[in-house]
Amino acid sequence: MTMSLGRVLRNTVIAVLALLWLVPTWLLVVNALVPAGSYSGSPHWLPRDFGLFGNMSQAWDKANLGPALGNSLLYSVVSAAAAAVIAGFAAFATIIMPVKRQALWFWVIYSGTLLPLQVFIRPLFLSYAHTSLYDTQTGLVLIYTAIAVPFAFFVMRNYALTLPREVVEAARMDGASWWRVFWQIHVPLTRSAMIAVFVFQFVAVWNDLMFGITMVTSRNIRPVMAALADLQGNYSNVGPPIVLAGALLVSLPTVVLFFSAQRFFVSSLKIHR
């Protein structure tokens, strides 16, 4: 009886939390469907007319989302991939290789997640202004890669702790170099974790707005979230349905990526026994 009551309470809590998460998504989708010309100014709770494609088309044209989507794709893919590889190297060095003070290296790298990102804006702005990295794609890629590494390292390190050490020891006894061990043994064993890290960081970089509006001024370099913010600011007369349709449009790549890599994401959460 106690177990049954606990299960009912747990399922109820999960259902309530799921409902709270779905309500904003439902409102976004329903109001993005409303034709911009017939929007009354009050949020709609139920779908009526269908004007989603027209709203998306206006958002695409007025905010110039095409180049912005290409920029965000570049930033997200390159930064997430680089962060996954760097984190993989760091996890291999601090867990598999006989490195001294492993705990110290963990905190040195992981401490990058302990500070709010806002504290980095001023030093980054000043340093970028003196090195000509401000308002460049290279500058944004470097920023996104740097802020992605600490959390990626945290995931990769915890995953590496579950790997069997006997495989590495056997390879070392057979004369394999650390470089060969990393690429031929460690990377295949941690592939699912690296893909999960890539998905995490891809979504984080794709959804970034702060660095996209503070470290970039050119429209041909800005990421997609900065373009969407510009749509809401400079083109506020287009109405909420167009802005919401643009938000729905730019969120599609992250949704597709997550569901495509879902099995790798789930398998990375399982502990090897």
Q: Which domains does the chain have, with CATH numbers?
A: 2-57 (no CATH), 58-267 (1.10.3720.10)
Mean pLDDT confidence for 41-49: 76
**CA–CA separation, 107 and 92 (whole Å):** 15
- Of the listed ranges 62-71, 163-172, 251-260, the least confidently predicted one is 163-172
Helices 240-260 and 65-91, packing angle to 10 deg:
30
pLDDT at 191: 86
CA distance readout (Å), 115 to 101, 162, 198, 209 = 23, 28, 22, 18
pLDDT in tens, 90-128: 988 888 878 788 788 888 888 877 888 888 888 888 888
* Backbone dihedral region for residue 223 (phi beyond 0: left; psi -120 to 50: alpha; all else: beta): beta
**What is the per-residue pLDDT across 170-229, written as a single tens digit (0 to 9) for each?**
887 877 788 888 888 888 888 888 888 999 899 999 999 899 888 988 888 999 998 888
pLDDT at 265 > cutoff 90: no
Tell me the CB-side half-sphere exposure of residue 128, using CA atoms within 13 A: 21
Does this model's pTM top 0.85? no
